[in-house]
Amino acid sequence: MRKAFKIILALFVAIIIVVGAFAAVIFLNLAAYTATGSQTLTPTGTSVGKAIVIYDPGLSGTAKGVADKVASDLQAQNYTVILAGVKSSAATNTTGYSVIVIGGPVYAGSLTSSIKDALQGLVLSHDQVSKIGVFGSGQGATTPDDIAQIKQSIPTSSDAALSKAVVVKIGSSENLTARAQDFVNEVLT
């Protein structure tokens, strides 16, 4: 009887440790700390401007996939694109870009803290003439509530460009290629 109790207690402790570790990864946004790199994508024709796509990869990497697709769509529109992880040095300076896109995963209806911080930094540092897009990625198809929750993550500002930011959520069950292309087209108009 005592041996069975010890086994059950050990299993219970192991479950608590696993749940605690998983919660720490999500709530402390540890995945963002892996996003330290950046790369430049040059257009095949003459560049019409500079764009930056800042992303938090999230746990599954879906947000990184969205960022990659958005960056390649901007490149196809003849922009010179910097694809930057949210913790990279390239992500800290958003001046001089005609297009700025920031996005990452949506957990419990909200963007990650690293993306919220990047949006707050955007309020302080971007050029007023920039076109801005914000994306979230997550489970299921997009609902109007998803967009409303993402918009709540954007700092309130008298900045006209930020208040007019194009906001989307791209669900994991949706067509990434089509949704990303629609998003880019909407940001550029």
Domain ranges of the chain: 32-188
pLDDT for the residue 124: 63
Residues 6+ apart with CB under 8 A from 164: 132
> Which pTM does this prediction carry?
0.79
Strand partners, 131: 99
Tens of pLDDT along the chain (189 residues) come to 788 888 888 888 888 888 876 665 555 555 556 666 779 889 988 999 999 999 998 877 788 999 999 999 999 999 999 999 998 888 888 888 999 999 999 887 788 888 888 888 876 666 666 789 999 998 776 777 888 888 887 776 655 566 778 889 988 788 889 999 999 999 998
Phi, psi angle pair for 27, to nearest 5°: -75, -25
C-alpha separations of 153 from 1, 10, 46, 48, 59 in Å:
53, 41, 35, 30, 19
Question: In the numeric block, which tokens belong to residue 101?
Answer: 């896109």
Going by the DSSP 8-state scheme, the letter that residue 92 receives in this structure is G
Q: Which CATH number fits domain 32-188: 3.40.50.2000, 1.10.4160.10, 3.60.9.10, 3.40.50.360?
A: 3.40.50.360
pLDDT for the residue 103: 93
Answer whether 40's CB lies under 8 Å from 79's CB: no
pLDDT for the residue 120: 83
